[in-house]
Amino acid sequence: MTTTQHYRIGVDVGGTNTDGILLSLSPSSSSQANRGVLASFKSPTTPDVTSGIENAVRAVLEQSGVAPREVGSLMIGTTHFINAVVEHDARRLSKVAVIRLGAPYTDECPPFLDFPPPLRAIMDGHVAILKGGLHIDGKPINDIDEAEIISECKIIKEKNIKAIAIVGIFSSLDRQDGLSQEDRARMIIERELGKDIHVVCSREVANQGLLERENASILNASILAFARRTIASFRRAMGRVGLSCPLFLTQNDGTLTTAREAARLPIRTFASGQTNSMRGASYLAGLGSSASEISKKSGSIIVVDVGGTTTDVGVLLPSGFPRQAAAFISVGGVRTNFSMPDVQSIGLGGGSIVSLARLCDHMGLLIVHCSSTGYKLLTEGLVFGGSTRTATDVAVALDPSLDIGDVEKVKSAFSEDELVGAKECIKKLLEDVIDRMKTSPEPATVLLVGGGSVIAPEELNGVAELIRPPLFSCANAVGACVANVSGEVDTIEILEDRKLEDVVEKVKALAVERAVKNGAKKQTVKVVEVENLPVQYVTIKATRLVVRAVGELDIEAVPAGSTVVENVEDSDEAYQEGEKESANGDAGFVEEKIDIAAYRPTINEQGEWILSEIDLEWIQEGCGILGTGGGGSPYPPFIMARQVLREGGCIKVISHASLADDALIFRGHFMGSPSVSNERLQGGAEVETACRNLMKFLSVGKPAAVISDEIGGGNGIQPMILASEKHLNFDGDLMGRAYPQMWCSLPAAFSVPASLTPCAIADGVNNSIVLPSTSNKYMVETILRGVCTTLGSKAGVSMAPLTAKTCREYGVTRTVSQAWRLGRAVAQCRAKSNLGGIPNAILGLQNGKCLFVGKIVGIEREWGSVIMAPLASEEEESKASEKSPEELAIKDATLRIEFQNENLRADLTTSDGKKELIAVVPDLITVLDSQSGSALGTHEYRYGLRVTVIGLAGHPLWSTKEGLKTGGPAAFGLDLPFRPVGVYREPVGVIEEYGPGSRN
């Protein structure tokens, strides 16, 4: 940057308005009242987006009198790319060919499997699963096969597909930059198909989790051509206003990327608008500076950005960056895992429409609707001469001193009661969403920004201080202007003889190095985030480390040409907002809606339950609840089982009572590390191979049915996929829940002969072992765990087959039915918008207690514990009269849950320090996400999450001397008494209730 370039321009393009500011880079400017902002501009977003950006840049240059040559850089934040995905706009989305490197694994969960049908119709161009991929220790599964890739290139060329996504198992662990499997595959593809194609490598897009990383890569590849055209049009607009400086775009995490990088990885800019507002608020309020008083305040620091249509609320970390969202993010109905801010949005803005309503038996109060005039506020709002009553009209009527529109037009538009009612409604909406984001009951400090923030009251319950920083209406553009540069490392490290502290320092240094490489000033870079997630169920000592470093932009360090987008046709972006073009299948697609109360499962004349997609959806929801935090995620096996049905397959469940005592029941499930299961998706042969090899060893024929050892989590669904081949699924399991060890099954607890061995383990690629016997039941786990690690820390297992009589006497019958009923109960509550009723609905099916309602305020993954605090009174969504005695009793207490993959114990500590054990294994301790009603896996626990904890009675066999020795406190080294939360209630079988001869 030359000495004459002292300024920077930031522009943020929102759905309603486009904001721009010009910032002085003088060292003293940040200490001035205006924080160095010399000019600002706001206008409605233009249909073609680019014109709005051009108008904003031109306006701030004219206001400030700054010459274009004095501007050192232009920063732009836009939602333009994500809109194309959310709206399923076929004009802007390209067909994608997906090359997955991982054969022979992952076949059972191919690309696009969980895409919404309309989006899949637009994007699904070609799929190939080829050799390649890595194990969790970084060693290759197979090397890539050049001939295979060349063969696929010929097909891709014939289909005229220009966008390609390459996705390798554990590719994020492949550190051979330029020589990684994905990089080498890209070079082959570009050599065969030419440089005018767009190739995306997944390791550059997102983090651990194959399915989610692949989905993000597909979205990125599909939007690439449109992104390149759009960003090139930004450059041309800059030329028209005389700017020749570098162009940057803001990313989801609040940092910058060059125009060239944004054109290569546009998905990283999808949610930058929300982040820009939070970063802008942080800068305008002085957060992070040594003189800042806000940084010293206790309690959460929350940004509330009120726009024209919506209000976005997020939490600022001490670093000044927004707290990041949970592991999985849905974009246009597609599950992804790239970095996004943790933001809650509500339908409240300056353009929100208000109308009369009857509330609490008082007439004349106003209710604020989610519907909004949006960018038409300037013509439709009363204060602007329109005929629609909006939240902005209410604000002006309450405070005529606001310099907005014509106050005379609203003076007689509302009665006094109406104004009071509308004010209270707005106040309550803001208080509720703020409270959902708080991580402690302490009053929060709120930074109020956004053009619509004039509608917010001066005081809010649960808020210690409400601050409107200077230039609050254009905080989003300020955030774009002050964005930093980041470097991130997400890796799994094998510790072996190394100290964790040394490894962390090494990874932190790598994150700093990447930040500098991305254009940060080395002396300003600091590490702002370090997360350590020990990898479970691997004999090698491994841990996942996520480290992020940020620093100030060094314009001089930006590589020459990095802000130029090459190989783009020389025409302005031709696609304007307006009528969207959808795929052929989109218009006819209607998501299935069912009457839950009227729904009846299909039971044939033979008494076999023929599962539908709805049945599967409910069962997987129930398996999550019964998993008590473990058992593996039920989502991947659910979409695989669903695909079986979509391809014409059939999954049948039979009653335990329909089998003869000596009928042979085979067992099948997966064992291994959840970290591996999230990457090395099953190929379909693992469990089946283990079963076949065991059948061969035992010289037995076709089994009468298959059963899972644990109904909890993903393993509760695995037998259904296996049963879809030729077998039947037994309505029951051997635990009634999930447990972390192989010997934690009821037949093993009661020492049933041959209940664990002989058994077999297989990885589905011709590696299989049959274990005939062991000296004791504990050695089964030890031996199989060692073999599993050798096979890549994931394998299919078939334990010793049992007779139907043994499964009836030493198993838990009707648990598939129980999972179905639990899932249906959750679905019914959601359909009625009664999420608060989910705990009671669950407890209506199985005896137990609501143990706690609150939010997560602490997590310790090294030892496996999570701490929860109660909600403040203003956070509660139910009245005191609606609460259970348990909820009332925990008002001033905290809850601590210890877990070892599954939740083991729950201790309540009251305000006076008294500690009480309120639930322990073998009873089920399940943590629900209060905002969705779904069960949370222990790996999904995160700060601030609102949760409901319930305890469910375990099967009575677990309460016996034998059961407690195997699945009670002592089995996990806990010197605790077992006091059941309730008496187990035998589930009602679906087949018995709805089968032939029933009244239903």
Residue 284 has pLDDT above 80, yes or no: yes
Q: How far apart are CA 171 and CA 804, in angstroms?
A: 44
Reply yes or no: is the peptide bond before residue 470 cis, omega within 30 of 0.
no
Residue 820, token pair as written in the block: 């179905």
pLDDT at 588 over 50: no
The pLDDT value given to residue 878: 43
Coil, strand or helix at 544 = strand
Closest CA to 639 of 115, 88, 102, 217: 115
What separation, in Å, do the N-terminal and C-terminal C-alpha atoms of the chain show? 77
Assess whether pLDDT exceeds 80 at residue 214.
Answer: yes
pLDDT of residue 882: 45
DSSP tag of 255: B
Query: Which of 151, 181, 196 is the C-terminal boundary of a domain?
Result: 196
- Rounded to the nearest 5°, which phi and psi values hold at 454? -65, -15
Choose among 592, 591, 601: nearest CA to 820.
Answer: 601
pLDDT score for 363: 38
pLDDT, greater one: 987 or 28: 987
Tens of pLDDT along 618-671?
999 999 999 999 888 898 899 999 999 998 999 999 999 999 999 999 999 999
Return the ∠ at Cα 267 (arms to 265 and 269), rounded to 5°: 95
Task: Answer with the residue of higher pLDDT: 578 or 685.
Answer: 685
806, 707 Cβ separation under 8 angstroms:
no
pLDDT in tens, 380-421: 999 999 999 999 999 999 999 988 999 999 988 888 888 888
Average pLDDT over residues 816-825: 98
User: Do residues 345 and 329 touch, judged by C-beta distance below 8 A?
Assistant: no
221 close to 63: Cβ distance less than 8 angstroms: no
The answer, yes or no, to whether residue 582 has pLDDT greater than 50, is: no
Tens digits of per-residue pLDDT, 599-612? 999 999 999 999 99
CA distance linking residue 27 with residue 929, whole number of Å: 46
- Residues 360, 447 within the same domain: yes
Model pLDDT for residues 725-760, shown as the tens digit of each residue: 667 899 999 999 999 999 999 999 999 999 999 999
DSSP 986: P
In Å, how far are 271, 737, 958, 976 from 955, measured between CA atoms?
A: 46, 9, 6, 19
Residues 423 and 525 in one domain: no
- pTM for this prediction: 0.83
Within a domain: residue 363?
yes
Note whether 355 and 461 are same-domain residues.
yes
Higher-confidence position of 591 and 957: 957
Torsion of CA 416, 417, 419, 421, to 10 degrees: 170
Is residue 502 located within the same domain as residue 449? no
746: three-class secondary structure by DSSP: helix
More confident residue, 74 or 866: 74
The 10s digit of each residue's pLDDT in 519-531 is 888 998 989 888 7
Higher pLDDT, 26 or 181: 181
pLDDT tens for residues 417-461? 888 888 888 998 899 888 877 766 678 899 999 888 899 999 998
- 389 within domain boundaries: yes
Task: Tell me what pLDDT residue 973 has.
Answer: 92
Does pLDDT of 903 surpass 90?
Answer: yes
Q: Any alpha helices (H) in 674-795, and if so which ranges?
A: 674-677, 686-698, 718-726, 746-749, 777-790
Tokens of 60: 């701030």
Asked if pLDDT for residue 275 goes beyond 80, the answer is yes
CA angle, corner 461, sides to 457 and 463, nearest 5?
85
More confident residue, 27 or 644: 644
User: Which residue, 737, 23, 312, is CA-closest to 746?
Assistant: 737
How far, rounded to the nearest angstrom, does the alpha carbon of residue 929 sit from its chain's CA centroid?
13
Q: Single out the residue in 409, 434, 468 at which a domain terminates.
A: 468
Specify whether 370 is located in the same domain as 456: yes
Tokens 């090494």 identify what position? Answer: 506
Last residue within a domain, chosen from 433, 468, 503: 468
Tell me the pLDDT band of 845, cut-offs 50, 70 and 90: very high
DSSP state string for 330-351: EETTEEE-S--B-EEEES--TT
Identify which has the larger pLDDT, 858 or 222.
222
Q: How confident is the model at residue 136 (pLDDT cuts 50, 70, 90)?
A: confident
Is 275 inside any structural domain? no
Of residues 151 and 675, more confidence is placed in 151
For residues 966 and 850, membership in a common domain is answered with: yes
Residue 365 lies in a domain: yes
Two tokens, residue 771: 């274990």
Burial class (CB in 10 A: 0-12, 13-18, 19+), 862: exposed
pLDDT category at 822 given cuts 50, 70, 90 is very high
Residue 872: pLDDT band with limits 50, 70, 90: low
Q: Kindly state the average pLDDT of the residues 123-131.
A: 97
User: Using 50, 70 and 90 to split pLDDT, how confident is the model at 66?
Assistant: very high
Does residue 565 carry a pLDDT above 60?
no
Q: Which domain holds residue 956?
A: 846-972
- Whether residues 453 and 425 share a domain: the answer is yes
The two tokens of residue 984 are 């187990």
The whole-chain average pLDDT of the chain stands at: 86
**Residues 511, 401: one domain?**
no
User: Is there a contact between 222 and 96 (Cβ–Cβ < 8 Å)?
Assistant: yes
Q: What is the pLDDT of residues 4-14, one digit of tens each?
A: 568 999 999 87
Burial class (CB in 10 A: 0-12, 13-18, 19+), 194: exposed
Mean pLDDT value across residues 939-957: 88
User: Is 915 a residue whose pLDDT tops 80?
Assistant: yes
Mark whether 425 and 387 lie in a shared domain.
yes
Query: Is the peptide bond preceding residue 747 cis, with omega within 30 degrees of 0?
Result: no
Q: Are 776 and 782 in contact (CB under 8 A)?
A: no
- 30 has a pLDDT exceeding 70: no
**Shortest CA distance to 117 belongs to which of 592, 577, 615, 620?**
592
- 488 and 452 together in one domain: no
60 in a structural domain: no
User: Residue 880: is its pLDDT beyond 50?
Assistant: no
Provide the sign of the torsion angle of the four alpha carbons 953, 959, 963, 966, taken in this order. positive
pLDDT at 888: 47
Confidence label for 542 from pLDDT (cuts 50, 70 and 90) = confident
More confident residue, 295 or 54: 54
Residue 891 predicted with pLDDT over 90: no
- Residue 689: pLDDT above 90? yes
pLDDT digits (tens, 9 = 90+) for 336-381: 877 677 788 888 888 888 876 543 333 344 555 557 787 788 889 9
- 459 with 508, same domain: the answer is no
pLDDT bin (cut points 50, 70, 90) of residue 962 is very high
Answer yes or no: is 943 within a domain.
yes
- 579 versus 541: the higher-pLDDT residue is 541
* Residue 280: inside a domain: no
**Strand 96-103 versus strand 163-168 pairing type:** parallel
Residue closest to 88 by CA, chosen among 579, 573, 646? 579
For the cut 50, the answer to whether the pLDDT of residue 104 exceeds it is yes
Counting the structural domains of the chain, the total is 4
**Which of 486-500, 566-580, 698-712 is predicted most confidently?**
698-712
Q: Evaluate if residue 579 carries a pLDDT over 80.
A: no
Q: What percent of the chain has pLDDT over 70?
A: 88
Q: What is the pLDDT of residues 494-510, one digit of tens each?
A: 887 888 888 999 999 99
* 512 and 399 together in one domain: no
| Domain-embedded: residue 588 | no
Q: Average pLDDT in the 897-923 region?
A: 93
Q: Cβ of 2: how many Cβ atoms within 10 Å?
A: 10
Q: Distances in Å between the alpha carbon of 327 and those of 206, 620, 936, 955? A: 11, 19, 12, 33
Q: What is the pLDDT of residue 798?
A: 96
CATH no. for residue 965? Answer: 2.40.390.10
